[in-house]
């Protein structure tokens, strides 16, 4: 099946695309929906798929919202974009600013950004400010600065971001022929769960889907304000992408949960890393830790005794593992990389073949 990897064209009717919207693309969307080899049976699901948003141009789902937001910013006359980020938003904003010839400014929490993401923003020529504070502080500052200066704010508080991101829900329905019964998704600033719920809702109202999924959102236990019901002042988790204590789209996440008869639950860092390992080893899916939260949550529900038989679930894999090589190497067993002489006998011995 050939799909257009350009959401502004493929889904123009459902997006705020006008005759004046400039249409450039790096190839967003059209991402694979991969059937599980091992977990589906292990959890007793009828079907389990992974939506590989990690295969977007900059390696995360952010590109869907960013291509829309930056195109609209250009349409409205902007010459520069600004965002706060745990890493992926800044990588994506920097890439799309380069595509459209704008300047990009990003504010990130110092010491809590995976190396690959910082490398991307740097390579694309963004101006990066690291602050001694959390993502939530960075977002407050970015909002204030965007009022003080002539800058387009491209965080998901920008409504065009949510519009672009909802197209992932369209793609899932277009491919499966209907909505799944369950959609599992990591939740940080809560823009993405809001966007998926909107996308499923729009397709349902257009009768392109016969149902809407229950939305199961998962936060890291050290950064789970939507689970506790109160902001977390000092969020902490290995999944730095979702290390967020006061999500901007709080209300959108609660609506997605309640209107879908879904849930938002916490998963521990150990559960996240276990899912991260299983995805890589058993499914061929190398994602970043935050992305594994969707699978960790599904596994945890199963362990808690929830009957998943009859369910068709989609877990959203939000970002690629290449973003965060440090976590991958820290998880490697000691014997994974060995040094030997450049010699067949030495390699035979090292691998235990002789
Ligand atoms: N997964 C990844 C890989 C992310 O980068 C993010 C958010 C999320 C999940 C959560 O999505 O915020 O819409 O609930 N990253 C943002 C950033 C905050 O700055 O890159 P959300």
Give the model confidence (pLDDT) of 234-260 as tens digits. 999 999 999 999 999 999 999 999 999
pTM of the model: 0.97
Calculate the average pLDDT of the chain.
Answer: 97
Residue nearest (by alpha carbon) to ligand 1 atom 6: 241
pLDDT of residue 273: 97
Buried b (16+ CB within 10 A) or exposed e, 194-213: bbbbbbbbebbeeeebeebb
Q: Which of 250, 188, 182 is nearest to 219 (CA)?
A: 188
pLDDT of residue 2: 60
- What phi, psi does 129 have (nearest 5°)? -115, 120
Ligand 1, pocket-test mutation among 95, 113, 187, 318, most atoms within 8 A of CB: 318
Pull the structure tokens for residue 308. Answer: 């998943």
Pull the structure tokens for residue 257. Answer: 């949960």
Ligand 1, pocket-test mutation among 69, 188, 250, 324, most atoms within 8 A of CB: 188
pLDDT of residue 333: 73
> SS3 string of the chain?
CCCCCCHHHHCHHHCCCCCCCCCCCCCCCCCCEEECCCHHHHCCCCEEEEEEHHHCCCCECHHHHHHHHHHHHHHCCCCEEEEECCCHHHHHHHHHHHHHCCEEEEEEECCCCCHHHHHHHHHCCCEEEEECCCHHHHHHHHHHHHHHCCCEECCCCCHHHHHHHCHHHHHHHHHHCCCCCEEEEECCCCHHHHHHHHHHHHHHHCCCCCCCCEEEEEEEHHHCHHHHCCCCCCCCCCCHHHCCCCCCCHHHHHHHHHHCCCEEEEECHHHHHHHHHHHHHHHCCCECHHHHHHHHHHHHHHHCCCCCCCCEEEEEECEEHHHCHHHHHHHCCHHHCCCCCCCHHHHHHHCCCC
Give the Cα separation of 130 and 116 in Å (integer). 15
Residue 19 has pLDDT above 90, yes or no: yes
How far is residue 47 from each of residues 194, 310, 312, measured CA to CA in Å?
24, 8, 5
Which comes out higher in pLDDT, residue 332 or 294? 294
Residue 226 has pLDDT above 70, yes or no: yes
Pull the structure tokens for residue 97. Answer: 């600013």
pLDDT digits (tens, 9 = 90+) for 200-225: 999 999 999 999 999 999 999 999 99
pLDDT of residue 337: 86
pLDDT of residue 71: 98
| Cβ 68 vs Cβ 163: under 8 Å | yes
Atom of ligand 1 nearest to the CA of 191: 13
Give the Cα separation of 353 and 266 in Å (integer). 44
pLDDT of residue 4: 77
Residue nearest (by alpha carbon) to ligand 1 atom 4: 241
Residues with a CB atom less than 6 Å from ligand 1? 60, 62, 85-89, 156, 186-192, 241-242, 288, 290-291, 318-319
pLDDT of residue 325: 92
- What phi, psi does 127 have (nearest 5°)? -90, 120
Q: What percent of the chain has pLDDT over 90?
A: 95
Residue 106's CB is within 10 A of a number of other CB atoms, namely 29
Atom of ligand 1 nearest to the CA of 89: 20
Q: 103 forms bridges with which residues in the sheet? A: 80
| Cβ 294 vs Cβ 217: under 8 Å | no
CA 6–ligand 1 middle distance (angstroms) = 21
pLDDT digits (tens, 9 = 90+) for 143-195: 999 999 999 999 999 999 999 999 999 999 999 999 999 999 999 999 999 99
């Amino acid at each position: 099946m050939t799909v257009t990897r350009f959401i502004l064209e493929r889904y123009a009717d459902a997006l705020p695309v006008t005759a004046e919207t400039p249409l450039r693309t790096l190839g967003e969307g059209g991402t694979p929906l991969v059937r599980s080899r091992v977990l589906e049976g292990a959890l007793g699901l009828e079907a389990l798929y992974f939506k590989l948003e990690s295969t977007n141009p900059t390696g995360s789902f952010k590109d869907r919202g960013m291509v829309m937001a930056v195109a609209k910013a250009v349409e409205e006359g902007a010459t520069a974009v600004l965002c706060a980020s745990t890493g992926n938003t800044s990588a994506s904003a920097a890439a799309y600013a380069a595509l459209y010839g704008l300047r990009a400014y990003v504010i990130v929490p110092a010491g809590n950004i995976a190396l690959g993401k910082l490398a991307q923003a740097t390579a694309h020529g963004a101006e990066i400010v690291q602050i001694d504070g959390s993502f939530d502080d960075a977002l407050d500052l970015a909002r204030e600065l965007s009022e003080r200066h002539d800058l387009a704010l491209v965080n998901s508080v920008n409504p065009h971001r949510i519009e672009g991101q909802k197209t992932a829900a369209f793609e899932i329905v277009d491919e499966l022929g209907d909505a799944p019964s369950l959609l599992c998704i990591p939740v940080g600033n809560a823009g993405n769960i809001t966007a998926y719920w909107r996308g499923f809702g729009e397709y349902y109202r257009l009768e392109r889907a016969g149902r809407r999924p229950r939305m199961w959102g998962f936060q890291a236990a050290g950064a789970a304000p939507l689970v506790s019901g109160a902001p977390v002042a000092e969020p902490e988790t290995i999944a730095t992408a979702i290390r967020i204590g006061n999500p901007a789209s709080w209300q959108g996440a609660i609506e997605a949960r309640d209107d879908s008869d879904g849930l938002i639950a916490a998963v521990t860092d150990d559960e996240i890393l276990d899912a991260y390992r299983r995805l890589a080893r058993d499914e061929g899916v190398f994602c970043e830790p935050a992305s594994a939260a969707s699978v960790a949550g599904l596994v945890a529900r199963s362990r808690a005794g929830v009957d998943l038989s009859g369910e068709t679930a989609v877990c959203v894999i939000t970002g690629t593992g290449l973003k965060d090589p440090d976590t991958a190497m820290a998880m490697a067993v000691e014997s994974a990389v060995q040094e030997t002489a450049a010699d067949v006998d030495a390699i035979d011995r090292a691998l235990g073949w002789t």
